[in-house]
Amino acid sequence: MKTTGGTDDQKRRAGERAAELVADGDVVGLGSGSTAAYAIRAIGRATADGLTVRGIPTSFDSRRLARESGIPICSLGEVDGVDVAIDGADRIDADHHLIKGGGAAHAREKVVDAAADRFVVVADPSKTVETLSHPVPVEVLPEAYAAVERDVEDLGGGATLRRGEAKDGPVVTDNGNLVLDCAFGRIDDPRGLARRLSGVPGVVEHGLFVDLADTVYVGTDDGVERLE
Ligand code: 5RP
């Protein structure tokens, strides 16, 4: 699983603290990325100790890790609701708006995280910023990517098709789509940009998570900072 930014210990502290929020009987959204992975492993250990939960994975990787960790899996369509979702982020601003999708999993992540009664973000300190300026990942239908690139330019951004590490082909999401990383510079109006991106034909989902996060746990070198 891809690791970015802070240290593994910082990520572990954040993920494990968030996992402590999971109660017996909960339906839990299982996020993607290296920080959420620590939460999934901790929930798996709690499950082995007798905690009864059902997990809804947000990606192929989180599904595989949940299975390996012994967490019973279900899908969103099988439950009445999600009690808590624990997920990572690429950037978190002062109002707790997020940019996600570094792992190209933001479409399913947004569906599950938004469905949760409580959405808890887990991160290391390299992810916190005053104002968002990181490129926004945008999942697009393959047929539409050139048209979306042009629409992103009309919105004042610049789109780059995400390629795999070997650079020999585009990244393909779990949903069979492509990802455009869209740079807008400083994002002073995340709500407005989120609305405009959602309105572009061919966009499946973008990585701006506006007004969704309830709590943020930032793992530090000696503990966990909780941002409400
Ligand atoms: C995947 C994501 C991840 O949660 C995000 O990239 C953070 O990953 P990490 O915890 O490895 O830094 O949004 O789509």
Question: Which tokens go with 81?
Answer: 């609701």
CA-207 nearest atom, ligand 1: 13
CA-106 nearest atom, ligand 1: 14
Share of the chain above pLDDT 90, in %: 95
Q: 98 in a domain, yes or no?
A: yes
Do 142 and 169 belong to one domain?
yes
Task: Give me the active site residues, please.
Answer: 109
Q: 116 in a domain, yes or no?
A: yes
Q: 1 in a domain, yes or no?
A: no
**Cβ pair 109, 139 in contact under 8 A:** no
Contact residues of ligand 1, CB 6 A cut-off: 2-5, 31-36, 87-90, 100-106, 109
Residue-range definition of the domain harbouring residue 190: 136-206
Do 20 and 98 belong to one domain?
yes
Helices and strands (H and E) in the chain: how many: 6, 13
Distance 35 CA to ligand 1 centre (A): 7
Structure ipTM: 0.98
Structure confidence by residue, pLDDT tens digits, 173-182: 999 999 999 9
If one residue of 1, 35, 209 were mutated to test the ligand 1 pocket, choosing by the most ligand atoms within 8 A of its CB, it would be 35
Do 87 and 193 belong to one domain?
no
Structure confidence by residue, pLDDT tens digits, 197-218: 999 999 999 999 999 999 999 9
Do 173 and 71 belong to one domain?
no
Q: What is the CATH number of the domain that holds 58?
A: 3.40.50.1360
Q: What is the CATH number of the domain that holds 144?
A: 3.30.70.260
Question: Helices 60-68 and 34-48 sit at what angle, rounded to 10 degrees?
Answer: 30
Q: Is 34 exposed, middle or buried (0-12, 13-18, 19+ CB in 10 A)?
A: buried
Q: 166 in a domain, yes or no?
A: yes
Q: What is the mean pLDDT of residues 69-74?
A: 98
How many domains would you assign to the chain? 2
